[in-house]
Amino acid sequence: MSQTNPTASGASRAQQQASAIKAAGGVLTHRQILFILFGLMAGMFLSALDQTIVGTSMRTIADDLSGLSLQAWVTTAYLIMSTISTPIYGKLSDIFGRRPLFMIAITIFLIGSLLAGFSTSMPELAVFRGIQGLGAGGLMALPLTILGDILAPRERAKYQGYFLAVFGVSSVIGPLLGGLMSGTSVILGVTGWRWIFLMNLPIGIIAMLIVLRFLHVPHTKRPARIDWWGAATVIMAVIPLLLVAEQGREWGWWSVSSVVCYVVGLVGIVLFILAERSMGDDALIPLKLFKSPTFRMATIIGVLVGFGMFGAMMTIPLYLQLVTGATPTESGLLMIPMILGLMISSIVSGQLISRTGKYKMFPILGTAFMGAGFFYMTFLSPDKNMFFVLGGMLLIGLGLGQLMQTLTIASQNSVGPRDIGVATSSSTFFRQIGGTMGTAVVFSVLFARLPETLSAAFSNTNTIAGIQSAAQDPAVTGNPVNTTILGILGSKDPSVIGGALSGDSSFLKGVDPRLSFPFLEGFANATVTVFWVSLAVIVVAFILSFFMKAQPLRMKSALQEQTESDHAEDAAEAELILAHSAADAAGAMIEPALGSEHHSDKPAAAKSASPEA
Q: Is the separation of the CB atoms in 282 and 272 below 8 Å?
A: no
pLDDT at 406: 86
pLDDT at 269: 92
pLDDT at 573: 67
141-165: string of b/e by CB count within 10 Å (b at 16+)? bbbbbbbbbbbbbbbbbbbbbbbbb
pLDDT at 304: 92
Strand partners, 190: 187
pLDDT at 7: 45
CA 513 distance to own-chain centroid: 40
pLDDT at 207: 83
Domain ranges in the chain are 10-217, 226-280, 290-452+531-553, 453-526
C-alpha to C-alpha distance for 422 and 160, rounded to whole angstroms? 19
Helices 293-322 and 513-545 pack at an angle, to 10 degrees, of 170
pLDDT at 71: 67
One fold for 10-217 and 290-452+531-553:
yes
Name the CATH code of domain 10-217 (choices 2.40.50.100, 3.40.50.720, 1.20.1250.20, 3.40.50.2000): 1.20.1250.20
Helices 30-64 and 122-150 pack at an angle, to 10 degrees, of 170
Architecture of the domain spanning 290-452+531-553? Up-down Bundle (1.20)
Q: What stretches in the chain show pLDDT beneath 50?
A: 1-4, 6-8, 600-613
C-alpha to C-alpha distance for 375 and 134, rounded to whole angstroms? 37
